Amino acid sequence: MAEHVSAIFIYKCITFHVSLGMPLIAHDSYKAPWFLPNGHIQTIYPVLCRKVSIALKPRIFTIIMADGDFIDLDYYDKQSGKTLIVSHGLEGNSSRAYILGMARAFLAEGWNVVAWNYRGCSGRSNNTIKFYHSGCTEDLGEVVNFAANIGGVTQIALAGFSLGGNVVLKYLGNTAMVNQKITHAVAISVPLDLHQGCRRLSESSNYLYEMRFLRTLKQKIRDKAVLFPELDLRHLAHIHDLQKFDDYYTAPLHGFADALDYYRSCSSLFVLDEIKIPTLIINAKNDPFLPESCFPHSALADHHYIFLETPAHGGHVGFTAIDPEGRYWSETRALQFVE
């Protein structure tokens, strides 16, 4: 028995390259399918082609916030003591395939799952003039407290994609906020540096992605102006990139001076040193959204809690895998790390 336990421990150390002061995962365990040859295709394919169904129907809960606003979430109840909380990306929601895929993988291993929607992302407009942003850690904190107060839950893990990954890391970096039941976190395709990430997204090669985001964000502002006529819609016609949108709307509506102030205040890159929870960051080197600053190898080389894995392939929130259970590589990887 002792030999068996020792073998498992050695295997885990080799797999994760967990040597003291060296939490960089140097090996490349993800191999993209042959028909997905580059980062753009690896990003687009899951959006267009992946369908995920979950047999267990979620219970819909609404959390009422202190400011009178609300958050809607889907709670998949396995009557477990372990709960995963999943945070979606920019203009996503709890029914996106990447959210359902991660939920299904953890449900199969006996976890409860909470998939929450940011303000205004659940299909109905929220009650206040603000909506959500890359640093909405207070809202995540409310969701964590909701999950922690369910009877019998003793362990909580966090998973976040893209913007949601930044929210998770920013939350963990505020050590006074972190719930004591949180044991692990996984952040996937994370724009750790919001300013440089925004500049990268505005490059010509990413034009279609940026326009897609801007189309739905602008519509949110138009919808919100029906309830809050003080919103100035004249800017919308002149906004052609996300930084301008953040300058005119995201920043002022959420208490920041401008887009640069928002990026400085909310980039998780600047709070990584404060994180004291075992955390796995997975950023693909061919992610079309992520600049070099989102691969802080030297800064994390001596971190005792954060493990940085940078596969050569995967795209942005991609990591497609040909798996008989329908799991993507990132879902299997998250389970390995958390369990």
C-alpha distance across the termini of the chain, in Å: 20
C-alpha–C-alpha distance, residues 128 and 264, integer Å: 24
Beta-bridge mates of residue 188 = 161, 282
Beta-bridge mates of residue 85 = 114, 158
pLDDT tier for residue 269 given thresholds of 50, 70 and 90? very high
Q: What is the pLDDT of residue 8?
A: 38
pLDDT digits (tens, 9 = 90+) for 92-117: 999 999 999 999 999 999 999 999 99
> Of all residues in the chain, what percent carry a pLDDT higher than 70?
93
Which residue, among 188, 165, 166, has the nearest Cα to 284 in the 3D structure? 188
Could you state, in order of their start, the residue ranges of all structural domains in the chain? 17-193+267-338
Q: What is the pLDDT of residue 26?
A: 62
Which regions of the chain does DSSP assign to beta strands (E)? 24-25, 59-64, 70-76, 82-87, 112-116, 155-161, 182-188, 279-282, 306-309
State the CB neighbour count (10 A cutoff) for residue 269.
Answer: 21
Query: Is residue 13 pLDDT above 80, yes or no?
Result: no
pLDDT tier for residue 9 given thresholds of 50, 70 and 90? very low
Query: Is residue 15 pLDDT above 60, yes or no?
Result: no
Q: How far is CA 249 from the centre of its chain?
A: 22
Q: What is the pLDDT of residue 177?
A: 86
* CATH fold label, 17-193+267-338: Rossmann fold (3.40.50)
Which residue, among 67, 194, 74, 62, has the nearest Cα to 131 in the 3D structure? 67
Any idea how long the chain is? Answer: 339
State the CB neighbour count (10 A cutoff) for residue 191.
Answer: 30
Question: Residues 244, 238: contact at Cβ < 8 Å?
Answer: yes
Instruction: Characterize the bridge pairing of strands 70-76 and 82-87.
Output: unpaired
Q: What is the pLDDT of residue 39?
A: 97
Q: How far is CA 79 from the centre of its chain?
A: 25
C-alpha–C-alpha distance, residues 336 and 33, integer Å: 21
pLDDT tier for residue 175 given thresholds of 50, 70 and 90? confident
pLDDT digits (tens, 9 = 90+) for 27-67: 678 999 999 999 999 999 999 999 999 999 999 999 999 99
C-alpha–C-alpha distance, residues 271 and 292, integer Å: 18
Query: Is residue 17 pLDDT above 80, yes or no?
Result: no
C-alpha–C-alpha distance, residues 293 and 267, integer Å: 11
pLDDT digits (tens, 9 = 90+) for 194-234: 999 999 999 999 999 999 999 999 999 999 999 999 999 99
> Of all residues in the chain, what percent carry a pLDDT higher than 90?
88
C-alpha–C-alpha distance, residues 112 and 109, integer Å: 9
pTM score of the predicted model: 0.91
**Mean pLDDT value of segment 134-159:** 96
C-alpha–C-alpha distance, residues 83 and 94, integer Å: 16
